[in-house]
Amino acid sequence: MVISMINLTLYKKEMKQNMLIFLIFVSLTILYGVIVSALFDPVAEGLGWMQIMQETYPEMLDFIGFNVAQFNDYQYFVSGYLYGMLFILFGLIYINILSNRLIYRYLDRGSIVLLLATPNSRTKIIITQIKVLGTYIFALTMSMFLITGGFGAIFNPAYVDFGKLFYLNISFCIMLTFICSVMVLCHCLFEGKLAQGLGIGLPIIFFFMRLVSNLGDNYEIASYFTPFSLFNPMLCINYDALSFVYNGILIALSIVLFGFTLFGFNKRDLSI
Amino acid sequence: MGFIQYYDGEVSIKGLNCKTDQVKIQRFLGYLPGEINFFDDMRGNELIGLIAKMQGLKSLDYSKTLLQYFELNPNMKIKRMSKGMKQKLAIVIAFMGDPDIFIMDEPSSGLDPLMQQKLVNLILEHKKRGKTFFLSSHSFEEVEKTCDRILMIREGRIINDSHVETLKKEQLRKYEVVFAKREDAERFAKQNGGLINKDCFVTVEVLDSFSSLLAQLKDFEIIDISKKNLNLEEIFMKYYGD
């Protein structure tokens, strides 16, 4: 079903052409994954420098998304240091680069007409491009899972819970897919700088809203204006029922936005 | 092609609706865009392979023949290709599926005169085989050589729809008359709406028969009369120049 909705030739070409960027981001993930995994020391005597920082400047660390609830739990440790800010930023930048390369650039330059001058519908072409994005988002989050899980197992095998890490990364994948749907929608509906600006601007605004909402009760209202609130690593690690609800909401919103994208893309005038 | 939405009327090719049957139409259509914007990261042969597969072509033989015909080496990155090379690549892509109908926007743009002639020959060869070409061009020579019927469009509306020969026959009735005296030239030009080019040369347009021109000239001392051949460009200017 999914195969028939995409053009396999185009899919393979795009997968091949975007492999290098994927490998660069996986390398970055490995770099940070190794560092954070190596820093985890569940039996450390006294406070580590990060604990000292967290106790001294909690608001600042909250603001930049470094928030570790338990320093002797690998899952909390990893999610606090990587999934609060770093991996989210990696994901945002990566999706934006991909969406630019796979959709915005083709529409802006007009090269999309070359693809549409073949016997393939607009829907099929755009679904193929979205499928490439989806594949790479899944691959990136699974790399994150394997890297954090793998290095954790090397350094502290007794503390790694692969099931929890897997669910954390699946939830993260769903979050990134939603962000992807926002970017793709902007790139398909709008033109020129507006498309590019909204494509990266909206997710960045969402991201900073999340950071602001971390600052405490006074700023909690910001959490209602960012979809990043629907990705809570702590809830995921504890398999909290609310995380399943959040994931369901994100999936539903993504489907709706991709639906708007298909509709808008089919109605859009193209360069000739 | 389905690239632009239309809000009034209907567009169809071979009875197929351009809005709803776009995929079916593309099976027998070759398209050459006016602005060549390829995927710069690819090599020419990779692009040909990609589009051929997306078109469902089983063989690349004809594309190879076309590449040889246009003397194009496709084994280089598209971003390193010149405008002419990109144009040739686009022409190869438009022709390689051997479609029944071609839509071409400025097909000879960026080509050197030799390649322009080769393209004209290729179009004529395909026309002989029963193919149909919709050609949008500002090159009057190209239009004269390849087209049977011309539509002139101004501000989105058709202002002329004629066959090339009819258009030429209707319009190619200008003569250059050389008078012996300057004052005769001026008088004739004033009486008959002619245009004095230089000294005693007057260009005059004949609306009815040549004999009426001769009748008008009988009172003047004439040195020479010659037919002035108008090309399509001048005909075009008649419609557009104001």
Q: List the single range of A239-248, B54-63, B92-101, B138-147 with lowest mean pLDDT.
A: B138-147
Instruction: State percent of chain B over pLDDT 70.
Output: 91
pLDDT at B157 over 80: yes
The domain tally of chain A equals 1
How close B37 comes to chain A (CA, Å)? Answer: 5
B9: contact with A, CB 8 A cutoff: no
B82's tokens: 């010149």
Is-contact A214 A62, C-beta < 8 A?
Answer: yes
Main-chain phi, psi angles of A157, to 5 degrees: -60, -30
Sign of the torsion angle spanned by Cα atoms A104, A109, A110, A116: negative
Domain ranges, residue A136? 3-267
B86 contacts on A by Cβ (under 8 Å):
none
Q: How far is A16 from A140, CA to CA, in rounded Å?
A: 15
All residues of chain A having their beta carbon less than 8 Å from the beta carbon of residue B51 are: 114, 118
Say whether pLDDT at B104 is over 80: yes
The Cα of B189 is separated from the nearest Cα of chain A by a number of Å equal to 47
Cα distance from N-terminal residue to C-terminal residue, chain B = 34
Q: How far apart are CA B242 and CA B238, in angstroms?
A: 8
* CB-CB contact of A122 with A10 (8 Å): no
* Residue type at position B7: Y
**Token pair recorded at residue A7:** 């053009």
Q: Does B23 touch chain A (CB under 8 A)?
A: yes
The answer to whether residue A172 is domain-embedded is: yes
pLDDT, position B115: 93
Q: Report CB contact under 8 Å: B3, A13.
A: no
Amino acid identity of B210? F
- The residues of A whose Cβ lies within 8 A of any Cβ of B are 7, 9-10, 13, 17, 109-111, 113-122, 267, 269-272
Whether residue B223 is predicted with pLDDT greater than 60 in this model: the reply is yes
pLDDT per position as a tens digit, B165-216: 777 666 556 788 888 888 888 888 888 777 777 778 888 877 667 787 888 8
Write out the two tokens for B68: 């040889």
Is A61 among the domain residues?
yes
- pLDDT bin (cut points 50, 70, 90) of residue B75 is very high
Interchain contact B17–A (C-beta under 8 A): no
Q: Please report the pLDDT score of residue B102 as a whole number.
A: 96
> What mean pLDDT do residues B79-107 have?
94
Predicted local distance difference test score (pLDDT) of residue B233: 65
Looking at residue A92, its pLDDT comes to 94
Does residue A272 fall inside a structural domain?
Answer: no
Q: What is the pLDDT of residue B230?
A: 62
CB contact under 8 A, B24 and A115: no
pTM, two decimal places: 0.83
| Backbone phi and psi for residue B104, each to the nearest 5 degrees, phi listed first | -130, 130
pLDDT at A206: 92
The segments of chain A whose pLDDT lies below 70 read 1-3, 44-71
Instruction: Tell me the mean pLDDT in the region B66-81.
Output: 94
